[in-house]
Structure 1
Amino acid sequence: MAKQPMLKFVTVQRDMPEKRGPEVRREDFHEIYAEFADAKAAEQAARCSQCGVPYCQSHCPLHNNIPDWLRMTATGRLKEAYELSQETNTFPEICGRICPQDRLCEGNCVIEQSGHGTVTIGAVEKYITDTAFEEGWVEDIVPASERPESVGIIGAGPGGLAAADRLRRAGVQVTVYDRYDRSGGLMTYGIPGFKLEKDIVMRRNAQLEKGGVEFVLNCNVGEDITFQEIREKHDAVLLATGVYKTRDLGGPGSGSAGIVRAIDYLTASNRASFGDDVPEHADGSLWAEGKRVVVIGGGDTAMDCVRTAIRQGATSVKCLYRRDRANMPGSQREVANAEEEGVEFVWMAAPKGFKGDPVSGVVVQRMRLGQPDATGRRSPEPIEGEEYTEDADLVIKALGFEPEDLPTLWGEEELPVTRWGTVKADFRTGATDMDGVYAVGDIVRGASLVVWAIKDGRDAADAIIERFNAAAADIAAE
């Protein structure tokens, strides 16, 4: 009888790739996890129970065929594992690094629920595609035949790039317009290198460019080119702009110098990692060295900010969040990494105002959890008379992002938007009420995850191809 290659969770403990010590990793912006060795990846993949109803797969937005590529990894069929992984996910090596697996696939693993510790799905996913690149298994984008139709994509983030990849593989002509000088969106300029090293993103950008995707960078729609000009130039247009407007803080002193937006702070840091000249680092306005840093917010962007400040040599780094640890939106794994690196979390605390200009302190209001709100989460409410001042030389606002006013920015009042400012689009196809215009990712969902943007981009690309095929069939039938 052949030896059972899977179901090793009873005898093999969960094990992550080796993590560099906090005293070492806080000195640089390199990724904190090492790569799995081949034997270790196979061993950890073999812990999968191959359950009949794979909750890991059903809780993945892309519905990745996780049990099958874990089995292939465990049995040494790594190239097949890569090919299967790539079928459902345009950028598996990126999702393996930055997806909150503890809230998605790993958090819903059957053996995790039974107390054996989840399969390290994200680490194996990352390992599979990194190995595929090293071994030369990742093939260039070469369409079987070229099509005459063209699509203009506004936004070079994960949603736009996932759509560009799928459209080009079908032979569609693709042009991507983006305001930044490098494509990748927040994967390039919003996520620090210790979570996603930039050569990983640039490698995918290069693959797309080599495959025939045209990039028009440093291009502000509404200024350098109008939305109507893009519509006239292409057979379909896909909006994948993301959401970049920062939710703001009120209160006395909120306009003081030294209170900055998370996106500005992280972009400056990531530009420096590329070797760009960053004036805001030179003048100290977006540089944490020697400063008492307070970050306000409890999401993954806040975690990126506190861990960046540690690496820049801040004297102290504190994170204020108005709820408790159990109710914060960010990844618990990221909170643990931040604590290891020296970040102090101040729970049940909200800013009420600011002292000094430049800022010298945050007036903190102590909070408690009251009754659940409409989402089911207990609402924070202030405790009367419980205030104090937290010293600060740099305050970073990481309160989340909202959509920009695209109809006004682009002079396109007919663009359909919701009362929240997001673009109205079909959640299955991305189609809007404007003929030939589609929208995907955060500009439709609101601030969300990279993996959801990838799914939306792939789905919209399929819908656009279906539209083109139907039009071609109608012409042929005439």
Structure 2
Amino acid sequence: MAERMLQFIHVPRTMPDKRGAKQRATDFAEIYDAFAADAAKAQASRCSQCGVPFCQQGCPLQNNIPDWLRLAAEGRLEEAWRVSSSTNNMPEICGRICPQDRLCEGICTIEQSGHGTVTIGSIEKYITDNAWAEGWVEPIKPMRERKQSAGIIGAGPAGLAAAEQLRRKGYQVTVYDAYDRGGGLLTYGIPGFKLEKDIVERRIKRLQDSGIKFKFNTRVGKKVTLQKLRDTHDTVLIATGVYAAKDLKCPGSGADGVHAALDYLTASNRKGFGDAVAEFDVGTLDANDKRVVVIGGGDTAMDCVRTAIRQGAKAVTCLYRRDRANMPGSQREVQNAEEEGVKFEWLASPEAILDTKGKAKGVRAARMKLGEPDASGRQSPVKTGETFNVKADMVIKALGFDPEDLPALFDEPALSVNRWGAVKVDYSTMETSLPGVYAAGDIVRGASLVVWGIKDGRDAAEAMHQAMKQDARASKVAAE
């Protein structure tokens, strides 16, 4: 019998069980257990089935959240999965790593009424994990094969989403990626305690089994040029992401022991795969028995502090120049980090890296206060005149990412970029200044969320499909 909805008055909000901080801090396994079937149904039944669902408006993909919550509450899990996956190419990944507290759950109607949000992300994860276990997730079988092909540069969320959408329509798709594995930051940037890597690997394998070709260890601009891809394929998508780390502008930032966040996280994730990583193996990128300071307040900073804990750091401190309420990262991640032993220094900005004979030994930080709002509406941090020192053997810069210089890397000066280096597109089509070349994800919008990358990839794929369909019609008319 179907579960009755609107149970939020009687059923409290609950998350899946979370492993204890001491236990989980010793490994890189995900920290949340899976929902039991009854618990997932009970949580889904709390949905108020809004006529105008705010949760759906808060999701960049406009996922039909109330529909698949109702189906889950009624035990109709295959239908729930089909509804969920119709708008999202990797719902089990978004269910794990999306900051739901800032998106769908943050504006859930019953959250606003004081009853606590539906745990949307955990249910989304449960539905799709169950679909994989039951064998419902199968390789793509297009209704018909098309001769036209698409080349996609980048095997991250935007590139993978676009590849899947184009393959569904029967196009021949090849994905080129500089790394030796697919997934981009899903594989090498996000730690296993948030996203275990077999979750990403099975997505890649499904696409391979669907007929999508992957060419790894292929950096466009070196092994193959963009022009070569344009000559090879009917259309090309740039979905490289942004990987240039923003630098720390203070004295001593070049000292030994100061590292970019992505270098640190990539080394850790590679060790998780069993790879040989020279800088980790000699201790350079290993936090074991070190005093670690991470500078930044986003989700990447949270990934770094929690990774350092698991590597056996002696002490881990996070410096952020604004207060907790104004940090860009997920509040859930801050709570998890605090539970695991991370110390946060709010309203603190680095003034200098203290070093001895060129080796980092600490950070001098300025105490800040929040002043008048800036152009974005956020209060700007202002120095109070007070400083303090934090001991550190390793300093990790988690200040965000900028685009690489793609016109130079691709030897394509006609590829237009904005003043920040992001690729310019016509947002109605996602087409760049180069005809037949499209762009999606972080390389267009700047460092952002995985869910936005998926949306951009889907939008670009649809525009590429329309353009190739029009070209095919024109060729047919010309032949006649």
**Shorter chain as normaliser: what TM range?**
over 0.9
| Rounded Cα–Cα distance in structure 2 between residues aligned with 1:475 and 1:293 | 61
CA contact (8 A) 1:292 1:315 kept: yes
How far 1:455 moved relative to its partner? 0.4
Structure 1 residues 321 and 376 mapped into 2: Cα distance closer, same or farther (>3 Å)?
same
CA contact (8 A) 1:323 1:348 kept: yes
| Rounded Cα–Cα distance in structure 1 between residues aligned with 2:472 and 2:222 | 34
Amino acid at match of 1:466: Q
Amino acid at match of 2:432: T
| Rounded Cα–Cα distance in structure 1 between residues aligned with 2:222 and 2:459 | 29
How far 1:473 moved relative to its partner? 2.1
TM-score normalised by length of structure 2: 0.98
- Deviates further, 248-257 or 438-447: 248-257
How far 1:410 moved relative to its partner? 1.6
Deviations along 1:213-241, one digit per CA (max 9) or x if unpaired, are 11111111111111111111110000000
The runs of 5 or more residues in structure 2 that have no matched partner are: none
Which residue in the other structure is 1:92 paired with?
91
Q: Summarize the alignment of residues 120-159 of structure 1 with structure 2, pairs less than 5 Å apart.
A: 120-159=119-158
CA contact (8 A) 2:3 2:45 kept: no
Q: Summarize the alignment of residues 300-315 of structure 1 with structure 2, pairs less than 5 Å apart.
A: 300-315=299-314
CA contact (8 A) 1:428 1:459 kept: no
| Rounded Cα–Cα distance in structure 2 between residues aligned with 1:399 and 1:224 | 31
Q: What SS class does the counterpart of residue 100 from structure 2 fall into?
A: coil
CA contact (8 A) 1:29 1:311 kept: yes
How far 1:269 moved relative to its partner? 0.3
| Rounded Cα–Cα distance in structure 2 between residues aligned with 1:101 and 1:429 | 28
Deviations along 1:309-352, one digit per CA (max 9) or x if unpaired, are 00000000000000000000000000000000000000000111
CA contact (8 A) 2:3 2:74 kept: no
CA contact (8 A) 1:352 1:362 kept: yes
How far 1:4 moved relative to its partner? 6.7
Deviations along 1:351-389, one digit per CA (max 9) or x if unpaired, are 1111112100101111111100000000001112x1121
How far 1:472 moved relative to its partner? 1.9
Deviations along 1:138-196, one digit per CA (max 9) or x if unpaired, are 12111111101111100110000000011111110111111100010000000000000
Amino acid at match of 2:158: G
Which residue in the other structure is 2:266 paired with?
267
CA contact (8 A) 1:8 1:47 kept: yes
How far 1:277 moved relative to its partner? 0.8
Amino acid at match of 2:39: K
| Rounded Cα–Cα distance in structure 2 between residues aligned with 1:437 and 1:281 | 38
Q: What SS class does the counterpart of residue 395 from structure 1 fall into?
A: strand
Deviations along 1:370-429, one digit per CA (max 9) or x if unpaired, are 100000000001112x11211000000000000011111121100011111000012343
Amino acid at match of 2:78: K
Q: What SS class does the counterpart of residue 102 from structure 1 fall into?
A: helix
| Rounded Cα–Cα distance in structure 1 between residues aligned with 2:368 and 2:332 | 24
Q: What SS class does the counterpart of residue 359 from structure 1 fall into?
A: strand
Amino acid at match of 1:64: N
Deviations along 1:415-456, one digit per CA (max 9) or x if unpaired, are 011111000012343111211000000000000000000000
CA RMSD across the alignment: 1.0
Which residue in the other structure is 1:465 paired with?
465
Q: Summarize the alignment of residues 297-336 of structure 1 with structure 2, pairs less than 5 Å apart.
A: 297-336=296-335
How far 1:281 moved relative to its partner? 1.5
How far 1:286 moved relative to its partner? 0.4
Q: What SS class does the counterpart of residue 76 from structure 1 fall into?
A: coil
How far 1:53 moved relative to its partner? 0.8
CA contact (8 A) 2:3 2:41 kept: no
Amino acid at match of 2:371: G
Q: Does 1:433 align with 2:403?
A: no
TM-score normalised by length of structure 1: 0.98
| Rounded Cα–Cα distance in structure 2 between residues aligned with 1:171 and 1:247 | 40
CA contact (8 A) 1:319 1:345 kept: yes
Amino acid at match of 1:219: T
Amino acid at match of 1:103: R
Q: Does 1:374 align with 2:391?
A: no
* Percent of residue pairs bearing the same amino acid type: 63
Amino acid at match of 1:380: P
Count, aligned residues: 476
The runs of 5 or more residues in structure 1 that have no matched partner are: none
